[in-house]
Structure 1
Amino acid sequence: MAAVTVVAVVLAAVLLAVSVYLVNYAIGRSGSGGDRDVALEVEASPDSVEAVIAANKAQCKEKIDAFTQENPRENLAITSQDGLTLHGVCYTHADADSHRWAIVLHGYRGDYTGALCLAEPYYEAGYQVIAPDLRACGESEGSYVGMGWLDREDILQWIDYITVRDPQAEIVIHGVSMGAATTMMTAGETTPDAVKAFVEDCGYTSVWDVFSSELQLRFGLPEFPILYTASAVAKLQAGYSFTEASALQQVAHCEKPMLFIHGTADDFIPYEMMDALYNAKPGDNKAELTAEGAGHGEALYALGGTYWDTVFAFLEPYMN
């Protein structure tokens, strides 16, 4: 009996140690969860799509380089509800008559520069643009990546910043990957009338779903029991569990317009998640845009001008 107890204690200690490691690996600020060299089994993109993506990426880089050279950024800082200093950058037009604003959000373990591919087109379309560093990313403080769940409250702070600065503001929130999850999780909260619409590009249904998939792909491990204990550790250390961080549940509370975008060859966030999210969103003020052959975060490059034509056509009825 004593031997069984010892074994049980040892196994519990090992499970706890592994869970702590996984939490730090996945969402710890210095974790290496972004170093990904595995993939889901998806249909390979045809050569023609790969060529289009490569060409449009190069063109986008040139536009971003010119944009940042011609438009000096304004560095911003706000304080989160839990006392963190959050960094962001702002690009505004000299013509203050424009009251359209875009909050553009980068992906997992990135920083604001990862959202400049969104910032430049919005700016050229006459929007004022804010690109935050999400918590524990870039110059923003924080020990743990929020995966969209903690960030949703931070985005509410950025919305407040804009509405104080411009009481006539009309705001769209547009994010890619973790930024898309942040967008959807924010959409499930009560937002001011100034927030008009949301655009999510390749976001996940929930943190649990994406970590369960990655646990299998990276380590060949099932979600039970490790993900359960890791979720509990995350709750204690980072302030949220993997189960509560659900874009799917948040989208179900969103009454404002939302555009859903995803690539069919996404090897990180399964393409099927878009339909689940779209179907969870109530009302008919929603639309989907599919990028055939596009991998994770590549819809913008695979679709080229069609991407932005669709985004702005979707937004126009809701912006005064």
Structure 2
Amino acid sequence: MTNAEYYLIIAITLFFIFVLVVGIGYYFNHIIVHPKAIPHKRCQELEIELNNIKYKDLKQFDEGLVKRNIKLKSIYGYDLHGVYIPNNHSKKIIILAHGITVSLYCSLKYLNIFLDNGFGVILYDHRNHGLSGGKNTSFGYYEKFDLKSITDWAYKHIGNHITIGVHGESMGAATVLQYLAIDDRVSFAIEDCGYSNLNDLYEHRLKEDYKIKSRLLIKIADIITKTLYGWNFKQASPDQYIQMITTPVLFIHGENDQYVPTNMGKDLFNLKPGIKKLYIAKNAGHAEAYTNNKKEYQKQIESFLESINII
């Protein structure tokens, strides 16, 4: 074999390795920005099954509650779908932001907590979820502007003298924190099982889901995401914004969360300046803090809201 043939084989081998790595990175990127969303109706059924909802069950929510459908255009041109449930003309409003792959129906479990404490409630579907439009998911980077549009709707249609809070679960929690950094109209926030840093989360999920430990794959997926969709993982990481947030925040995380490690919630709590509170829910995995600790969860929220003179 000549030197030229030898170097050609090396070059071809390196090229195919490069193509393979980039291909895997592209596949990982596709999983991130195009999560397989659970159908809207199935989200209703899951909420009934997981949380034994009776008073606000499927039929009553769809047919019995006084509510107003929300449909507005996002600043990116797609439709946003939501539901507003008034509560005796209350000027206290909570906006509920659901997690990835589900829809607004998976926020129903929190409904009674806020209705019982005199809040009107707005639930809405993130972009690329439920009945909202949008062709991809950005883990809060674009979603934060949709949340701002929902807040704008509340001020326009409910009144300028309202008190608004936001509650987010998982990706919804990360969206809430990113949103707080661009809008100071919110009086309080509840952050439930959100991630702190996307690079760290994806490294953890890559290892847990695929038994792969590779920062290189994450970096390639990051570059592809920025090139194709205009955002990178750092830009959608709440720990990049948390120190700018002056809004009081209640941080909640399950003590056994293996999907978004519990330490991420603790890290966000430690980084945030100003008024804050941390509740680590016992015997709870990801997004199970309420499901496994209903009474304590409500008690923690009510105590937090009392401490900041909201209720």
In structure 2, the residue corresponding to 1:17 is in which secondary structure? helix
1:115-130 matches, cutoff 5 A: 115-130=107-122
TM-score using structure 2 length? 0.87
Unmatched 5+ stretches in structure 1 = 33-55
In structure 2, the residue corresponding to 1:301 is in which secondary structure? coil
The structural deviation recorded for 1:58 is 4.3
Could you list the per-position Cα deviations for residues 50-102 of structure 1 after superposition, in whole angstroms to 9, with x for gaps in the alignment? xxxxxx9544x223307514304422122222212111111113x32x10000
Counterpart residue type for residue 208 of structure 2: L
**Alignment match, 1:101:** 93
**Structure 2: distance between partners of 1:168 and 1:264:** 38
The structural deviation recorded for 1:254 is 0.5
**Alignment match, 1:35:** none
The structural deviation recorded for 1:273 is 1.3
**Alignment match, 1:47:** none
**Structure 2: distance between partners of 1:63 and 1:298:** 20
Could you list the per-position Cα deviations for residues 22-66 of structure 1 after superposition, in whole angstroms to 9, with x for gaps in the alignment? 11122215489xxxxxxxxxxxxxxxxxxxxxxx9544x223307
TM-score using structure 1 length? 0.85
From the superposition, tell whether residues 235 and 164 of structure 1 become closer, same or farther in structure 2 (CA, over 3 Å). same
1:83 and 2:89 are equivalent in the alignment? no
1:134 and 2:126 are equivalent in the alignment? yes
From the superposition, tell whether residues 101 and 232 of structure 1 become closer, same or farther in structure 2 (CA, over 3 Å). same
Could you list the per-position Cα deviations for residues 121-180 of structure 1 after superposition, in whole angstroms to 9, with x for gaps in the alignment? 212322111111001111111121121222111111111111112111110000111111
1:1-320 matches, cutoff 5 A: 1-30=7-36, 57-59=50-52, 61-65=53-57, 68=61, 69-93=63-87, 95-96=88-89, 98-165=90-157, 166-192=159-185, 195-283=186-274, 285-316=275-306, 317-319=308-310
Shift >3 Å, 4+ stretches: 29-32, 56-59
Counterpart residue type for residue 245 of structure 1: A
Number of equivalenced pairs = 291
- Aligned 8 A contact 2:168 2:175 in 1: yes
Could you list the per-position Cα deviations for residues 235-264 of structure 1 after superposition, in whole angstroms to 9, with x for gaps in the alignment? 122321112211112211101100001111
Please tell me whether Structure 1 or Structure 2 has the larger radius of gyration of its CA atoms. Answer: 2
Counterpart residue type for residue 191 of structure 1: D
Unmatched 5+ stretches in structure 2 = 1-6, 39-48
Structure showing greater relative contact order (alpha-carbon pairs closer than 8 Å, 6 or more residues apart): 1
Percent of aligned pairs with the same residue?
A: 25
**Structure 1: distance between partners of 2:149 and 2:141:** 14
Counterpart residue type for residue 71 of structure 2: A
- Aligned 8 A contact 1:29 1:142 in 2: no
**Structure 1: distance between partners of 2:271 and 2:280:** 17
In structure 2, the residue corresponding to 1:198 is in which secondary structure? strand
Could you list the per-position Cα deviations for residues 161-203 of structure 1 after superposition, in whole angstroms to 9, with x for gaps in the alignment? 11112111110000111111111111222332xx100000111
- Aligned 8 A contact 2:51 2:291 in 1: no
**Structure 2: distance between partners of 1:70 and 1:82:** 33
In structure 1, the residue corresponding to 2:290 is in which secondary structure? helix
**Structure 1: distance between partners of 2:168 and 2:162:** 19
From the superposition, tell whether residues 294 and 30 of structure 1 become closer, same or farther in structure 2 (CA, over 3 Å). closer
